[in-house]
Homo-oligomer: A and B are copies of this chain.
Amino acid sequence: MNVRDEQRERVITALAEHLLSTGLSQASLRQLAAAAGVSDRMLLYYFADKAEVLALAMQSLAGGMAAQLETALPADQRLSQAALTAKAARLVVDPVFRPFMRLWIEAIAAAAREEPPFAEIARQIGEGFLVWIEARLDPAQVPDPPGAAATILALLDGLALLEVCGGEDRVQRAVAALEAAGLG
């Protein structure tokens, strides 16, 4: 393989990690290059432009996130809406997933202002989430799986927002309430 192609892989992996830990605020070309251990000049030699860098790094993260979600809550078990809501909520507020959720809301906000490449990225990742959720809903118990999945996704994303504007304890209280309801 090319040196260039090797570097593309190496750099994207490093940048995914960097984005996870610092968010989109530290994502200028120069900052990304420094985080990946290359010069900004070379970053634009490996990739077409900043949008490509961010798109690839976000896709890499989404892939990792999807794999972790698969193992954390396997699809062979179908749940009621309340039960899945509670379990998924506990998952996404876990310290393991929280950095991703933080980045996820930054990406959606960037998509909201139509900032490339986030409009596309956010659509893709959101779609992936919906598929993941719907695959875990028991059609026998859930009258409207697409509606239920959309509702659950909204709630999960909302928990990430709640953490920012309401703090950790509010999130825990919400998750506890969901678990209490999920037992019914």
A binding-site residues for B, Cβ under 8 Å: 23-25, 102, 105-106, 108-115, 122-123, 125-127, 130, 143-144, 146-148, 150-151, 153-159, 161-162, 164-167, 170-171, 173-174, 176-178, 180
Contacts and interface: CB of A to CB of B under 8 A. Distances in A.
Closest 4 CB pairs of A and B: A158-B158, A147-B177, A109-B109, A126-B165
Contact of A147 (B114, B155, B165, B176): B176
Contact of A154 (B25, B122, B174): B174
A161 B123 CA distance: 11
| Copies per assembly | 2
A113 B105 CA distance: 11
A108 B176 contact: no
